[in-house]
Amino acid sequence: MSTAYAMRDSMTMLRRNLKHAQRYPSMTVSIVATPILMLLLFVYVFGGTLGAGIPHSGSGGDRAQYTNFVVPGIILMAVTAGAISTAVSVCTDMTEGIINRFRTMAISRSSVLTGHVVGNVIQTMISLVLVIGVALLVGFRPHGSALDWVAALAMLSLLAFALSWVSAAIGLGAGSIEAASNAPMPLTFLPFLGSAVVPPSSMPVGLRQFAEYQPFTSITNTLRGLLMGTHIGNNAVIALAWGVGLSIFGYLWARSVFNRDARR
């Protein structure tokens, strides 16, 4: 199967998945709504108190300070929530039997999953724009340059890409849509156990060590650095390594599950 056909088949599958997103908007809505509700919750409910506990760097009240602290974390949650919906869309294909149709056609095998993953990355980035829009409305005041924003979006795309491949693998193996929807849920909690909503330095020892070394922390810190001008240090390199590593892991995992014998 030539590369040209692989590209063409992937584009066909991508068009199909974008049509799905458009025709079945309730999934897209829930992907956007969850992080926005989180944002409002953290800013207006917890913001005043949590803001008092984080190291202040600029002017403004506790809540305003905290908004600037938490938004990069919320952005990460938006990416995670978006990416894991790949599991549901892939699993839906599996249960509807259309994947078996694709498998008996002389098409590029990877195109089926590539279409899902790329479609999901696009969908996630669109939802991200909405989340950032709401963040600006509630008082998020970033001071990154245009270049910083480009770098931030590139890193978020890489994260969405990596998590989409992992979710695709989970969706392929899930067996039911409920399982596909629940299995990747722990991923959405990982940002909480890092530097997304509070600095890890405030956590008890064991948790703090986990928080400092898990992938979301370096990604959160890099994002915060790019958008808010805090110190990035080696976080950028670690974040990039996690992104690339998770992409490769997710891709290989998904491919091996996809090529396994059809069940039933």
Residue ranges that bind other proteins, judged by CB under 8 A: 1, 5, 8-9, 12, 16, 19-20, 23-24, 96-98, 100-107, 261-262, 264
At closest approach, how far in Å is the CB of 19 from other proteins? 7
Taking the least distance from each CB to other proteins, the nearer of 231 and 263 is: 263
Taking the least distance from each CB to other proteins, the nearer of 26 and 59 is: 26
Q: Please name which of 208, 171, 198 lies closest in space to residue 86, comparing C-alpha atoms.
A: 171
Distances (CA, A) of 82 to 167, 185, 216: 10, 11, 15
The two structure tokens encoding residue 247: 């992409």
At closest approach, how far in Å is the CB of 81 from other proteins? 21
Taking the least distance from each CB to other proteins, the nearer of 6 and 238 is: 6
Tell me the C-alpha distance between 141 and 75, whole Å. Answer: 14
At closest approach, how far in Å is the CB of 203 from other proteins? 44
At closest approach, how far in Å is the CB of 93 from other proteins? 9
Interior angle at CA 165, CA 22 and CA 226, nearest 5: 85
Taking the least distance from each CB to other proteins, the nearer of 116 and 224 is: 116
At closest approach, how far in Å is the CB of 255 from other proteins? 16
**Residues 219 and 67 sit within 8 Å (Cβ to Cβ):** no
- For the chain, the first-to-last Cα distance in angstroms comes to 28
Taking the least distance from each CB to other proteins, the nearer of 22 and 49 is: 22
